[in-house]
Structure 1
Amino acid sequence: MTLTRAASAADLAPGDVTLVTVPGADGRERRIALARDEDGSLHALDDICTHERISLSDGEVFDGALECWKHGSAFDLRTGRPTSLPATVPVTVYALALEGDDVLVDPDTIVNAA
């Protein structure tokens, strides 16, 4: 597992989501929606909604989910599974760790079965 610094934890308040880019092992940049849920836990999900390829980092975090702003599909922050239509396909959830204030993400380690 190769963790890469993606952000500062202090920059994400509960309910915040932001776009980060992290290089994968193949050298390609991965677009990841980094979200902090209401209880303060951090999550790293693929940034693209599986319904219509809209950036999830422009959405909202609520009730343990990340909602796409365009059509209202929401994805569970822990599992990536859709919790509301129109999306029916999960998004990928990536490995994440905290090291001090640094949020580290591994875009090559998938922690759900998306």
Structure 2
Amino acid sequence: MTSVLQHLMAAHDLALAAYDAREDDYDKDNDVTGKEVDRIRFAIVAHRPTLDEVAEKAEFMLRNRTFTEWDDYDQRQLIEALNPIGSRRPAARPCLAGILLASIVGMAICTFWIAVTWRAWG
């Protein structure tokens, strides 16, 4: 049986493929594929995983450039994205696993940014 998270990840992959297949002269003001990728990406971030899905979601977020290169959400959203549903703690206090995984994602984003900046400055 496929979970909601797996459906969202599959939809994200399809939308990203359509986004990548755009022509170079697309209409930036009416970029439907870009908006669809953003909509699904934010749905994935907002989806609270089960404890069993936390690692799968973190791996998906790390291997997709829309989570590592597109920086329009903050560290708190990353922590909340990996905080499993059904934890006994209130939502304001993320679990340790969520904090660690969000830190790893954050470090990956920072490392990528430093590498790109370093290469650009030559």
* TM-score greater than 0.5 by the shorter chain: no
Q: Which has the higher helix share?
A: 2
TM-score by length of 1: 0.26
Higher strand share: 1
Bigger Rg, structure 1 or 2: 2
Q: TM-score, normalised by structure 2?
A: 0.25
The higher relative CO (CA closer than 8 Å, separation ≥ 6) is in 1
